[in-house]
Amino acid sequence: MSLTVALLSIAALLGAAGLAIALARSVEATRIIYGLCFGFSLILFVAAVVPRGAAALTAALPLGLPWIGAHFRMDVLSAFFLAIVNLGGAAASLYAIGYGAHEKHPSRILPFFPAFLAGMNLVLLADDAFSFLVAWEFMSLSSWALVMAHHHDAENRRAGFIYLLMASFGTLALLMAFGLLAGSVGGYSFADIRDAAHGPSWKSGLVLALVLLGAGSKAGLVPLHIWLPLAHPAAPSHVSALMSGVMTKVAIYGFIRIVFDLLGPPEFWWSMPTLTLGAITAMLGILSATIQSDLKKLLAYSTIENIGIIFVALGLALAFKANGMALPAALAFTAALFHVFNHSLFKSLLFFGAGAVQGATGERDIERLGGLIHSMPRTAFVFLGACLAISALPPLNGFVSEWLVFQAVLLSPSLPQWSLKLLVPAVGVALALSAALCAGCFVRAYGVAFLGRARSIAAKDARETDPWSLSAMSGLLALCLLAGLFPSYMIDTITPAAKLFVGGHVPTQGDIPWMSIVPIAESRSSYNGLLVFVFIIFSASVAALIVRRFGSKAIRRGPAWDCGYPDPSPATQYTGSSFAQPIRRTLGNVAFVARDHLDMPPPGDTRPARFGIEVHDRVWDGIYTPILRGVEFCADQLNRMNYLTIQEYLGLVFIALVGLLLVIAIWP
Give the percent of the chain with pLDDT over 90: 37
Per-residue pLDDT, 563: 62
**Lowest mean pLDDT: which of 49-63, 163-177, 232-246?**
49-63
pLDDT band for 1, please (50, 70, 90 cuts).
Answer: low
Provide CB contacts within 8 A for 661, sequence distance 6+. none
Per-residue pLDDT, 54: 64
pLDDT at 141 over 90: yes
Angle (nearest 5°) at CA 100 between 99 and 102: 80
- Pairing of β 70-74 and β 57-61: antiparallel
pLDDT band for 45, please (50, 70, 90 cuts).
Answer: very high
pLDDT at 15 over 80: yes
Report cis status (omega within 30 of 0) of the bond before 395: yes
Per-residue pLDDT, 634: 85
Q: Are 367 and 293 in contact (CB under 8 A)?
A: yes
Per-residue pLDDT, 612: 67
pLDDT at 494 over 70: yes
pLDDT digits (tens, 9 = 90+) for 279-290: 999 998 998 888
Average pLDDT value over all residues in the chain: 86
Half-sphere exposure of 639 (CA within 13 A, CB side): 6
Mean pLDDT of the 502-530 span: 79
Q: How does DSSP classify residue 550? A: I
Per-residue pLDDT, 9: 92
Per-residue pLDDT, 667: 67
pLDDT at 246 over 70: yes
pLDDT digits (tens, 9 = 90+) for 260-277: 988 888 888 888 999 999
pLDDT digits (tens, 9 = 90+) for 547-598: 777 765 656 666 666 665 556 666 667 776 777 777 777 776 666 776 766 6
Phi and psi for 411 in degrees, rounded to 5?
-90, 0
**Helix (H) or strand (E) run with residue 471 in it:** helix 467-485
Each residue of 530-554: b (16+ CB within 10 Å) or e? bebbeeeeeeeeeeeeeeeeeeeee
Per-residue pLDDT, 43: 93
Mean pLDDT of the 399-428 span: 90
Residue 180 CA to residue 174 CA, distance in Å, equals 10
Question: Which amino acid makes up residue 472?
Answer: A
Half-sphere exposure of 111 (CA within 13 A, CB side): 14
Report cis status (omega within 30 of 0) of the bond before 603: no
Per-residue pLDDT, 662: 86
Top pLDDT among 605 and 211 is at 211
pLDDT digits (tens, 9 = 90+) for 145-196: 999 888 888 888 888 899 999 999 999 999 999 888 887 666 788 888 888 7
pLDDT at 127 over 60: yes
Mean pLDDT of the 585-614 span: 70
pLDDT at 668 over 70: no
Per-residue pLDDT, 555: 60
- Ranges assigned E (strand) in 431-558: none
**Helix (H) or strand (E) run with residue 595 in it:** strand 592-599
Mean pLDDT of the 16-43 span: 88
Question: Which amino acid makes up residue 282?
Answer: A
pLDDT digits (tens, 9 = 90+) for 65-96: 777 778 899 989 999 999 999 999 999 999 99
Mean pLDDT of the 383-402 span: 91
Per-residue pLDDT, 602: 76
Alpha carbon 160 to chain centroid distance?
A: 18
pTM exceeds 0.75: yes
Each residue of 584-596: b (16+ CB within 10 Å) or e? beeebeebbebee
